[in-house]
Amino acid sequence: MNTTAIRIDGKAMAAEITDTVRLETDTLKRERGISPGLAVVIVGQDPASQVYV
């Protein structure tokens, strides 16, 4: 069994994804007046959950 390693440029991939999301977000704002957002819901009383919010 032969396997070959493939080098992945994570920074280039991240930049490409960021650009794509930015373009899609701008289009959504311009065409529909919607600004995407993020909401966080904490369930339960675990104090460790507070660290991530």
**Per-residue pLDDT band at 51 (split at 50, 70, 90):** confident
Number of domains in the chain: 1
Give domain status of residue 5, yes or no.
Answer: no
Give domain status of residue 17, yes or no.
Answer: yes
Under 8 Å between Cβ of 34 and 28:
yes
Give domain status of residue 3, yes or no.
Answer: no
Q: Residue 53: what pLDDT?
A: 74
Domain that holds residue 15: 10-50
**Per-residue pLDDT band at 48 (split at 50, 70, 90):** confident
CA distance 14 to 27: 20
CA distance 2 to 26: 45
pLDDT tens-digit series, residues 6-45: 999 999 999 999 999 999 999 999 999 999 999 988 888 8
Give domain status of residue 44, yes or no.
Answer: yes
